[in-house]
Structure 1
Amino acid sequence: MYVYRICDLSRRGDIKAVADLMKGYYSDRTKNPWDMMYKDIQKYGEKQETEEDLQEILILIREAVFAALEILSFGLISEIQTPDIIQAFISEKDWNLGRRKARNLCLNIVDRLIKNGDVRYLLPSSMKREGFGFLVSRIEEIELEHFRKARPTITKGKLNLSKLEKSIIGSKFLRDQMVIETKMNADDPRIETIQEAYDLQLVELEFERTTRTRVPQDTEQITLNGQPVEVLGDEKTSSSRKRRSSEVQSPLTEFITESKSSSKKKKSSKSKRANKK
């Protein structure tokens, strides 16, 4: 079954081969039946005595598809369904359009999550690697706001840390403070230290955000009709090659080159005088 082939490539981490098979769908749908993928999985599931094998197949297919489309940073978001992603890319006439449509589907869902403040499974580092860096600033602002609102306070004789534990920055803060509880008695000697550490970290984060040098990030370009434009992998490579070929020497390189050439001239002039003598 074609599904087994995808799962095997996913286990081996051969994502390039998965992408090639996805591209092959547009030239030969019989050999690359991505449109029949979930029908085959459904038939397979009916024959199995346990669900473990079926769950493994679904996970491997998801990993393979998301990695090939470079949307693996969204792999933990349950709102983004694998069948919807497959349907998005097979509904177009070629790989570039299909890939773009699948990625835009993810962006629409993620945009809605960000607006709702649901950013727990959005990892800025992986999003930058996959070309979604233009979303990072919004995500970091929400993470900071969650941390700001999670200030630990004492109520009913207890220090409540549950809000901190639920926030991304807060959960890391508690790990750094080596705190595993979500509630503490008001007379716990660690409370003063925790509150002081929280206030200090909040000030540092807010100061860092206001004084940080703005680094150029990926931007989402759009066409005149409002459709997002993506720079595909091949285009990125070619443009970077062009930049490298047109680069000029740095001042340090020029200085070293000039020094070598001048030293060669001095040596040649000395040798000429020596010959004359």
Structure 2
Amino acid sequence: MKPRVDVRRVDGLLTHALVYGAGEPLVIVPGIGCAAYAYRKLAVHLSRHFEVWCYDPPGHGRSEARAFDHITISRLSDHLRAWLDAANLNRPVIVGHSLGGEVAIDLAGRFPDALGRLVLLAPTGVPENPSVPLQLARLMLDAWIERPTLLSRLLPAYVRCGPLRIALIAEDQRVHETEPQLVAIRAPVLVMAGTFDVVISSHAIRTLCAFVPDVRSKKVPGPHAFWYSRVRIVTREIVSFVHDAAPSPTS
């Protein structure tokens, strides 16, 4: 499936997105250093049920950035909110992976009217992030257990984003307080975690779920990017969560 390319100026920056399918809008917010095109496999599967927007934050993928700007979680969520308004996306489903999950949490807590439902795939930030060297070490360890086909997409994205921007965002992650936004979330939340994720601990996922008022959690076999290797499972869980308003127990 060939996506539609969407480019619009937001906060003075040309902002890029790839759009798949049609129907209820769903936005994928990428992990640190990642790009919209890296999530093509997940987007194609989800596009059978939604209009999927793969968004490139400032300095990620093909979106522009200013030096030393949009390097904090709050600035990234400010831009995401402005981009949603510019794209006329009314209360979409937000799917955030890793750092994208942390940005989505900040968005949901500060701008509750900006989204309908929230899906967090191995989100960072709870209870807190470790030092930048330890974060990077965990990512390097995770690379050994991810699919090579995914790594071939991620590495060019990391190079384009650049080590300085990645390090600065990771440093803000270390000090960013997520709990105030978690308790302010009013949207239903689905949290999904990989069973052998070396980046995000199961304790962090349990802590996150304890803060959010309306949450369900699911474990999926796989590493940090389980959404790639287990794309059918992840798609099925997201579709069920969005279309089933009834709460389900956490697992």
TM-score (norm 1): 0.25
More strand by share: 2
Q: Which has the larger radius of gyration?
A: 1
TM-score (norm 2): 0.27
Looking at both structures, which has the greater relative contact order when contacts are Cα pairs under 8 Å and sequence separation is at least 6? 2
